Amino acid sequence: MAREFIVPGQIISGSGALEMAETALKEMGKKALIVTDQVMIELGNCRKVEDALKNQGVDYCIYSEIAGEPTDKMIEKGLKVYQEEGCDFLVALGGGSPIDSMKAIGSLAAKGGKISDYMGKVIDVPMPPMAAVPTTAGTGSEATQFTIITDTEKDIKMLLKGKVLMPDLAVIDPQFTMTAPPGITAATGLDALCHAIEAYTSRKAQTLSDTFAVSAVKRIMKYLPVAYTSGKNEKARVEMSVAALEAGIAFNNASVTLIHGMSRPIGALFHVAHGLSNAMLLKECLTFALPGNYERFADLGRAVGVAEEADEAEEAAKKFLQAVEKLTRDLNVPTLREYGISQEEFFQVIDKMAFDAMESGSPQNTIRDVTEEDIKEIYRKLWNK
């Protein structure tokens, strides 16, 4: 069966990528809106992007009010700046939040309206050119046709999609990930790991997405512990930047599964960062998913060297799960309780979270039938630690 495979229009990666990308940025338009956050300004990362634009005589303005994970309110403010300043293209600098915000602002740039208008629809509107400069090795948003925005009225995270949301240019320069602290490195790296594992074990997996997914899993299992403990290790940072891109490409074409479906409600209701909530769910979600597809998980176990070729599929799959569990322990991923979430409050909204997870459609991509009751039980098991 024929399948479509989508990647960013242009990818420039490796040390010095931003400098190489200057000419491509100049060709995108006359005035850029840089979508970022205050941390990127304080760290001096935004100045580097500004200089790249100045070097090419490109005008710009900055919208830096992306505080935490993006909401419809942030998008409305960013759109106003874009329109009032007369911008004609967008550059996102930061983690998944600024990149997702850029996509949402771009989708409203031509016609206005509200981002919530696209809930449940495929976005297919005229878009300004977009460039993504990720500063974390995790979300993969620079390589996807998705954006996640919180609807503040309904208190849900909207997963919005459309081919037009794919950035025209992805600049993967590891210099920006050097400033990520250990906690962010761990959470974003495990987010990328989820992307890759879920893409490989999705009902929508295809040959090309498999290639990127397996490569990403191998890089992450090897280099994430190094990047976590030795943040200035350039080799590890480069490998993780590539892995995040690979994982993004993989899940963009094969989709995600149970973990992401269950993660978004936790983030929306308890304000847990997306990568961290994914990491909290890894063990229980993979434990549930394994029996539906031992062979695929076994492939990953063998690929990263924790299982032998002679191992039966079930044994190899369980060895891979054990390796993933060890990684989350080594990276000090907190439990819900350790994070400070009230068990009583959590249990009060399990029904809503399970409903919202199923509504997202992601759990149904798991190669094991998933019911709303299954999801409720997994949520409960997160407290058995």
What does the pLDDT look like over 247-279, one tens digit per residue?
Answer: 999 999 999 999 999 999 999 899 898 899 999
Burial 156-171 (b: 16+ CB within 10 A, else e): bbbbbbbebbbbbbbb
Rounded average pLDDT over 158-171: 93
Name the CATH superfamily housing domain 180-381.
Dehydroquinate synthase-like - alpha domain (1.20.1090.10)
Cα 8 to chain centroid distance, Å, stands at 15
Rounded average pLDDT over 338-353: 96
**pLDDT for position 157:** 82
Q: CB under 8 Å to 292, separation ≥6 — which residues?
A: 366, 367, 368, 369
**pLDDT for position 385:** 61
Rounded average pLDDT over 189-215: 97
User: 77 pLDDT band (50/70/90 cuts)?
Assistant: very high
Q: Which of 77-86, 105-114, 283-292, 320-329 has the lowest mean pLDDT?
A: 105-114
Lateral strand order in the sheet of 169-172: 10-13, 169-172, 130-134, 89-94, 31-35, 59-63
**pLDDT for position 112:** 84
Looking at the predicted structure, is the pLDDT value of residue 359 above 80?
A: yes
Q: How far apart are alpha carbons 182 and 200 in whole angstroms?
A: 27
The structural domains of the chain, with segments of one domain joined by +, span 10-177, 180-381
Q: Which of 22-26, 111-115, 222-226 has the lowest mean pLDDT?
A: 111-115
The number of helices, as runs of H, and strands, as runs of E, in the chain is: 17, 8
**Which of 174, 182, 300, 192 has its CA nearest to residue 239?**
174
Rounded average pLDDT over 49-53: 98
Q: Which helix (H) or strand (E) holds 134?
A: strand 130-134
User: 159 pLDDT band (50/70/90 cuts)?
Assistant: confident
Rounded average pLDDT over 200-211: 97
CATH class of domain segment(s) 10-177: alpha beta
Q: What is the mean pLDDT of the chain?
A: 94
Rounded average pLDDT over 356-368: 94
User: 138 pLDDT band (50/70/90 cuts)?
Assistant: confident
**pLDDT for position 180:** 86
User: 179 pLDDT band (50/70/90 cuts)?
Assistant: confident
* 377 or 140: which leads in pLDDT: 377
**pLDDT for position 312:** 97
Tell the residue number behind the tokens 């495990």, with chain if given. 190
What does the pLDDT look like over 282-332, one tens digit per residue?
Answer: 999 999 999 999 999 999 999 999 999 999 999 999 999 999 999 999 999
User: 20 pLDDT band (50/70/90 cuts)?
Assistant: very high
List, as one string, the DSSP characters of 290-327: GGG-HHHHHHHHHHTTSS-TTS-HHHHHHHHHHHHHHH
User: 197 pLDDT band (50/70/90 cuts)?
Assistant: very high
**Which of 372, 371, 349 has its CA nearest to residue 265?**
349
Looking at the predicted structure, is the pLDDT value of residue 164 above 70?
A: yes
